[in-house]
Amino acid sequence: MAREYRMKSARSKPGSSQGISGIDYEAELNAQQYAVVRSKPGPALVIAGAGSGKTRTLTHRVAWLLDQGEDPGKILLLTFTNKAAREMIERVEQLIPSDVSALWSGTFHSIGNRILRRHAEDLGYTRSFSILDRDDQKAMMKQVIKELPLDTGGAASKRFPKVDVLISIFSLSENTCESIDDVVEYQFPQVARWIEEIKSVHRSYQARKKQNNSMDFDDLLVQTLKLLQQHDDLRSLYQRKFRHVLVDEYQDTNRVQCDLIDLLVGDRQCLMVVGDDAQSIYSWRGADMDNILSFHKKYPDAEVFKIETNYRSVPEVLELSNAAIRPNRVQYEKELRAVRDGGAMVPALVPLDDPSFQAEFVAERIEELIGEGLEPSDIAVLYRAHYQSMEIQMELTRRKVPFQITSGLRFFEQAHIKDVSALIRLVVNPRDEVSFKRVALMLPGVGDKTADNLWRAWSACELGQGISVPESFSPIMLTFRVPAKAKDSWQQLCYTLDELVVDGGFARPSDMLFSILEGVYDDYMRASFDNYEHRKQDIEQLMEYGEGFDDVLEFLAQLSLMSSVDGDPQKNQRKEDDESVMLSSIHQAKGLEWKVVFLVWLADGMFPNGRVLETGDEQMFEEERRLFYVAVTRAKDQLYLTYPMTNPKSYTGEYMMRPSRFLDAIPDEMTEEWKVSSW
């Protein structure tokens, strides 16, 4: 029989609303937040709606625990980004006058690293193990591939997965606890033919890391979980240490992170997780929404709290947001309520003739808003996929409206766009050494030295002199000496270049791009990029842009001008951040907010994504709707929902577009349709 003994201490009385901090919690928090902050120890699930003060609630919960006399070293606060961790600690420090440095706060990976630095020997590493960054991973994997007896030769050699693709496959497998076979089947079917070789590389890569006393980023989670699973004494040590575990953005946890949380909590079950299932949008990188939906199965005694008071948006935006997410069948139902008064306008629904007209409208309206006194940084243009921003980038550039892109790269600066452009530049200007070598280095088995040798052979022949437009490239190029691995790819390249010249002149830009994609670049993309489908869509969008040009020289000139603003490729990033309109994919916009949001390309096949509609997968479709919900809840004051009614596709001709089916859930009175026409 066990006896409980409670020590007398200087802790505040459990019912007290004030402690060492002097905070009047009831006065500083709304009723829902206050209920969370002062809840009794034990498992708790907090469903925090968009803009509801989630961070404020979490940090006040930590302050409350400290006010009750809890030791900071007994509290673990898990976040997803270093920025979020720093922000929370800074806020706690502002709330609590005493030293809180002993509090464990950080990302899952940083906490994993902290534990592993203490106990790595139990896994066969030393405490001074190295952490591999992306470049280190690539270098090690290249060496592994080089040393393995892999049969990657022959006609298909160019399609063997590049290390970036392999890293993505291995990472997804580790974080979801799914087999490499399943990950390849569902996420990377384009490399399925190499499945046995891929698994061989994975085994050797894992062994090489251990041999080198090194861990990659995923190991910081996987090895920590392994440590706690295999060593009962260490698991008990950390379960006793952390009396309170708090987790931010719980809807974004993957299988490994969720298992790690459960092991750290143990039987004490003093766990508070905060998240919003309606903002679960990262399944493609391993996040499992079932972690938050099935929380009660693991913790049947858990209290469930909802925080639904929104401090961000005007009521008109929130009413639309609530309506947008309501059709999802799998969710915790909630109703966001506005603190702010009504805005000056209801969300605008703006159908437009075509993508170019959509871009003109967005750019002109942005100019008007800036003219009315709004800062450019208060405005965002959001889209489902990066390629959907191309026309808007061009129109903003033409009007000299400053903008930045969350990825850091403008459309025309991306590697795959520069690759296909290099092939066109080489045909137009055979003396372009930079373009020639960029093309050569795409070939399997070709490095810098071989590229130099090929360039010397090229520049010495008639083709390389660029005296006239050749009728054919292949007769001369096929005589060049290339590595055995590159032979088939080089031959295909020669024949592709032949297609870029027609009747003593150059083919139209869109025809050139089609030949390049079908002839050589599609295979290269499949093997080189983990987001192959997105990059292919980018090139198809570039083909549509190329339809507007007959002269390839004019087309290339426009690409060059678009890849750098005002001829300055080294832009002042700080100034740009402060004075620029934001262009962002919705995934990268999560957690951010703007006074004005333009959500573009709201047409079926564009948003929701066409592949999702084709599969008919209800789970994927509901995630697309959650993505729409995330987008509209970014708007504070004004929201514009736009879509082109027609789309001029290359080779298939113009076709009509159906407004996004997400709009069907929004009552007519919640939007105002704008009928836009040109003068």
465 annotated active-site? no
Token couple for 108 = 């899952």
Q: Are 286 and 168 in contact (CB under 8 A)?
A: no
DSSP label at residue 537: H
Q: Does 53 belong to an annotated binding site?
A: yes
DSSP label at residue 341: P
β 653-656/646-649 pair status: antiparallel
Q: Are 273 and 250 in contact (CB under 8 A)?
A: yes
β 75-79/44-48 pair status: unpaired
Token couple for 162 = 């590049």
Q: Does 548 belong to an annotated binding site?
A: no
Which residue among the candidates 209, 425, 487, 634 is catalytic per the annotation? 634
Give the C-alpha distances (Å, rounded to integers) separating 423 from 434, 496, 515: 11, 10, 11
DSSP string of 196-243, one letter each residue: HHHHHHHHHHHHHHHHTTEEETTHHHHHHHHHHHH-HHHHHHHHHH-S
Q: What is the dihedral of CA 26, 27, 28, 33, to 10 degrees?
A: 30
First to last CA, the chain: 87
216 annotated active-site? no
94 annotated active-site? no
634 annotated active-site? yes
Which residue among the candidates 11, 28, 55, 406 is catalytic per the annotation? 55
Q: Which amino acid is at 184?
A: V
Q: Does 671 belong to an annotated binding site?
A: no
DSSP label at residue 101: T
Q: Does 51 belong to an annotated binding site?
A: yes
Distance, in Å, from the CA atom of 87 to the CA atom of 270, rounded to the nearest integer, reads 23
Token couple for 291 = 């972690």
Token couple for 202 = 């994975």
Comparing CA positions, the residue from 541, 538, 631, 540 lying closest to residue 582 is 631
Which residue among the candidates 197, 218, 248, 378 is catalytic per the annotation? 248
Q: Does 55 belong to an annotated binding site?
A: yes
Q: Are 246 and 77 in contact (CB under 8 A)?
A: yes
249 annotated active-site? yes
Peptide bond into 355 cis (omega under 30): no
Token couple for 188 = 């990377």
Distance, in Å, from the CA atom of 305 to the CA atom of 49, rounded to the nearest integer, reads 11
Task: List b or e across 126-154, with b for residues whose CB sees 16 or more CB atoms inside 10 angstroms.
Answer: eeebeebeeeebbebbeebbeeeebebee
Token couple for 453 = 């040798």
Number of CB atoms found within 10 A of residue 467's CB: 9
Q: Does 487 belong to an annotated binding site?
A: no
Which residue among the candidates 38, 54, 487, 636 is catalytic per the annotation? 54
DSSP label at residue 251: G
Strand pairing partners for 75? 244
Q: Helix, strand, or coil here: 65?
A: helix
Q: Which amino acid is at 361?
A: F
Token couple for 677 = 């026409």
86 annotated active-site? no
DSSP label at residue 334: -
Q: Does 348 belong to an annotated binding site?
A: no
Q: Does 52 belong to an annotated binding site?
A: yes
Distance, in Å, from the CA atom of 625 to the CA atom of 327, rounded to the nearest integer, reads 9
Which residue among the candidates 279, 331, 388, 633 is catalytic per the annotation? 279
Distance, in Å, from the CA atom of 76 to the CA atom of 65, rounded to the nearest integer, reads 12
DSSP string of 476-529, one letter each residue: HHTTS---GGGHHHHHHHHHHHHHTEETTEEPPHHHHHHHHIIIIIHHHHHHH-
Residues tagged active-site: 54-55, 248-249, 279, 634
Q: Which parts are annotated binding residues?
A: 48-55
Q: Which parts are annotated binding residues for ATP?
A: 48-55
